[in-house]
Structure formats: C-alpha cells, structure tokens
Amino acid sequence: MKMSLLVFLPLASILGSAVRVESKQDRAIARTQAPTLQPLVRLLAEIDDPAVQLDVLRGMYEALQGRRGVRAPEGWSGVYRKLAASQNAEIREKVLQLSVLFGDPQALAALRRTAEDVRADVSARRNALQTLVEKRPDDLLPLLQKLLDDRDMRGSALRGLAVYGDPQTPSLILERYGKYTDAEKLDAVATLASRPAYALALLDAMEKGRVPRRDLSAFTARQLLAFNDKRLSERLTKVWGSIRPPSAEKTQLLARYKPLVMPDALKKADRKHGRSLFSRTCASCHTLFGEGGKIGPDLTGSQRANPEYLLTKLLDPSAVVARDYQMTVVTTKSGRVVSGLVKAENDKTLTLQTQNEIVRFDKTDIEDRQKSQQSMMPDGLLTPLSASELRDLIAYLSGSGQVPLPIAPSDKAK
C-alpha cells in the first residue's frame, strides 16, 4: 500500500483535486477530470521512477481514450524521446500510444508496423490496432480489411471496421464468415448491424443461408429497427422475424410457451444443450454458475427456481428496468449506430458497453443520442428458438447446478 500511495498521491496533487486513493475507479475518475496535461508532462520530464512514470502515462491514456484531434502538450516531444528509451515495455507502449493520440505521424507509422508484424506479441499488436482505431487515420481501412485473414487479429479488425463506412466491407466480412469462431461471428454481426447498407447485406446473406438465422440476436435485431429504415425493417421481418412490443400478444405467447416449462416437460429437457444455448444467447451479458459476461445482473442468485418466472422475464424483459440497465442508442455523424449501456462519461467522451466490446466516442462525433426506457435485454429473445430449445434453455437456467457442455461431433470422432 505504501508504494501505491507514493505512486498515486503526486498525480492527485498535480490534478488539484482532493482525491482519496481507494480504488482504480477513483483514480481513473481523478485522472479524467484533469484540467490540463501540462503538469503531468512536466512531472514526466523530471522524474525517473518507472512506477510513477507508468501511473501518469496510464492516467493520461485513460483520460484521452475516445478523443480525437488532441494537440500534444508543450514539452511532450522531449518526454517522448526520454520514455521511448525506457527499459519498461509498457512505458514504451503507452508513450507511443499517447503520441499517436497527439497526431505524431512517426508514432502512427510505428504502431502500424506493430499491428502488421506477425512476429510481434499478439497483445501488443491488438493494443496497437485499438489505438489506431481510436485515432482513425484515413489510411487505416485497408489494413483492417487485410487483417481479416490474420487469425490473431481478426476479431480486433472486425470490430474496427464498424468505424468506417466502406462498400467493400460487407462482402469481405461475409465471404470469410464460415471460418470465424463464435466470438468472431458475434463481432462480424455487430459490425454488419452498425450501418443500414451493411445490415441489408447481412440480411441478404442470411436469406441465402450463408449466415444462420440464429446468429442474429434479438438485441441486434432491435438495433436494426433503430435505423427507422422502412426497407430494412421489412427485410428484417421477412428474413428473421418480428420483435413485438412488450404488451402485444404477451398473454397469447405465455399461454403457448407455458406447457414447455411445466415439470413433466422439463424432465425431458437436455440441460447440456440448454447450457450451449445459454452460451450463445445470454452469456455475453449474464453470468451463471461463475461463467459469462458482466453487463447484466448475475443470474446465479436470481429467482431461477421458478421456470414460469423465467419465461415471463424472457417474454417481457422491459416490464421493470433498473436505471443502470436502460439502453442508450448513439448515432454518429458517419451514420454508425451503436446500442449499449453508458459506462463512463465526461465533457469530452462517452463510453458505451455493447454486447461484444467497449466503444468510446468523442462527443464531437455524435449526431444523436437517445436513452431508451427499454432494457438492454431485448424482446424477441425467443424468436429464433424452437420449442425444444426453449425447454432446454429454461431447464438449464432453473437448474440447481452446472452441467458440462455437449460433446461436439468433431470431439466424438477422436
């Protein structure tokens, strides 16, 4: 703890804030509220303690993520030369990333070389590409498209492509779709759902069987409706199905599905298959039995023992929505639409947590922002599921303990 105070108290005093050093979140907030970078640059020029240097660089980088067009503070070039020669790899990486955010063309070129270098550390390559995406240089698009064929970088490239509107991107993503992992398919669909022209290409591929209908989640389907594009909405209904308003036909749907979750029906359920469905449908947001995402509430301690209650929540997730789980829809000036939960905000940037990534926006890039009264958990979750799949999912959700995943056909053959 003594080292932690030595590292963080100088930063707090420079920011001119009464900061109580308790948690990473407290420290990040203090850094984000910094009125100027100049005192931090002077500190970096004077000190030689790597721990303090790294803390200051991390704070600066966190505060500036998502921002574009930031000018380099006075004295930064000298600090860059000093810290670029550090023996600490993270210090070298952070000072390079900051120089990119400040628009240094040499730093941009260096990060580009790292992102392309198949011999470089994978984590360093991904961090380099993420920083380039944050900066959004004009010549980055061809690199992102090229990296679709790089197994280590494909997921990062798929997410980065959502930033750019380019007519070639949908076909480049879709022609490789069958080779993607499940996580990469989630990234691919999220990017293809970010612009109307991309989404139409996705629905065309779905209609032709190149993309399974179930790969388009109800959450993503709802985002497509947020474009308010009549042609797109009609195609979605034809190819995928409809997302009904929470109150419409709720009683009829409950009556139709209720027999599937009665005790006698659940005795026939395959909970292993239900776990597989949970991984595909729910795990990106929810944790159950210690596995899954942290976006929505942990389901392990909820009212899972009541299958009928679970069915009601799946049919009408927006009936009662806590403020922290109300969805925000952001439209950028370039036409990109992103839906998610607000995780952080200051006067310069907005940070959203989506199903598959954290997205940071410079507020000058935002065209429109709407907070929905709906839950991030969408209606229509049951639309892609067959009757037996719904039964298996409810059985898994309401069960008392974890079960193994089903054995894949390829594993059975070994």
Q: Quote the number of domains for the chain.
A: 4
Same domain, 167 and 302: no
pLDDT of res. 54: 94
Residue 11 has pLDDT above 70, yes or no: no
pLDDT digits (tens, 9 = 90+) for 355-387: 888 899 999 999 999 887 666 676 667 777 888
Q: What whole-number distance in Å separates Cα of residue 192 and Cα of residue 177?
A: 12
Domain boundary among 110, 136, 162: 136
In this predicted structure, the answer to whether residue 138 has a pLDDT above a threshold of 90 is: no
* Structure confidence at residue 12 as a pLDDT band (50, 70, 90): very low
SS (H, E, C) 234-272: HHHHHHCCCCCCCCCCHHHHHHHHHHHHCHHHHCCCCHH
pLDDT of residue 28: 40
Q: Are residues 391 and 357 in the same domain?
A: no
Instruction: Indicate whether 255 pLDDT > 50.
Output: yes
Domain match, 175 and 231 both = yes
Give the largest Cα separation in the chain, rounded: 74
Q: Are residues 165 and 278 in the same domain?
A: no
Q: Clarify whether residues 30 and 83 are in a common domain.
A: yes
341 pLDDT above the threshold of 60: yes
What are the φ and ψ backbone dihedral angles of 354, each rounded to 5 degrees? Answer: -95, -175
Weakest mean pLDDT among 7-21, 105-119, 363-377: 7-21
The pLDDT of 152-165, averaged and rounded, is 96
Indicate if the alpha-carbon torsion angle 286, 288, 294, 296 is positive or negative. positive
Residue 225: its pLDDT value, please?
Answer: 86
pLDDT of residue 116: 95
Residue 44 shares a structural domain with residue 105: yes
Who's near 126: CB < 8 A, 6+ residues apart? Answer: 152, 153, 156
CA atoms within 13 A on the CB side of 67: 22
**What integer is the mean pLDDT of 11-18?**
37
Look up residue 81 and give its amino acid: R
Tell me: pLDDT of 188 over 70: yes
pLDDT band at 23 (very low <50, low <70, confident <90, very high): very low
Do residues 122 and 267 share a domain? no
Q: What is the three-class DSSP state of 137?
A: coil
Q: Are residues 108 and 165 in the same domain?
A: no
Asked if 351 and 388 sit in the same domain, the reply is: no
Domain at 400, CATH number: 1.10.760
For residue 15, name the pLDDT band (cuts at 50, 70, 90).
Answer: very low
pLDDT at 323: 63
Average pLDDT, the chain: 82
Interval 49-105: pLDDT, tens: 999 999 999 999 888 888 877 889 999 999 999 999 999 999 999 999 999 889 898
pLDDT for the residue numbered 378: 66
Is pLDDT larger for residue 202 or for residue 398? 202
pLDDT of residue 322: 56
Return the CATH number at 359. 2.30.30.100
- Check whether 179 has a pLDDT greater than 60: yes
Q: What is the pLDDT of residue 148?
A: 97
Domain that holds residue 336: 323-374
Q: Span 111-126, mean pLDDT? A: 94
pLDDT tens digits, one per residue of 194-231: 999 999 999 999 999 999 988 888 778 888 988 889 99
Burial grade of 351 (CB within 10 A; 0-12, 13-18, 19 or more): middle
Q: Please indicate, yes or no, whether residues 34 and 174 belong to a single structural domain of this protein.
A: no
- Exposed / middle / buried, residue 60 (Cβ in 10 Å: 0-12, 13-18, 19+): buried
- Residues 302 and 327 reside in one and the same domain: no
**Residue pair 336/163 in contact by the 8 Å Cβ criterion:** yes
Is 286 found in the same domain as 332?
no
pLDDT (0 to 100) of residue 321: 54
Distance CA 274, CA 394 (A): 7
**φ, ψ of residue 85 in degrees (nearest 5):** -100, 5
What pLDDT score does 408 carry? 58
pLDDT at 32: 36
Predicted local confidence at residue 303, as pLDDT: 66
Least confident interval from 142-151, 243-252, 399-408? 243-252
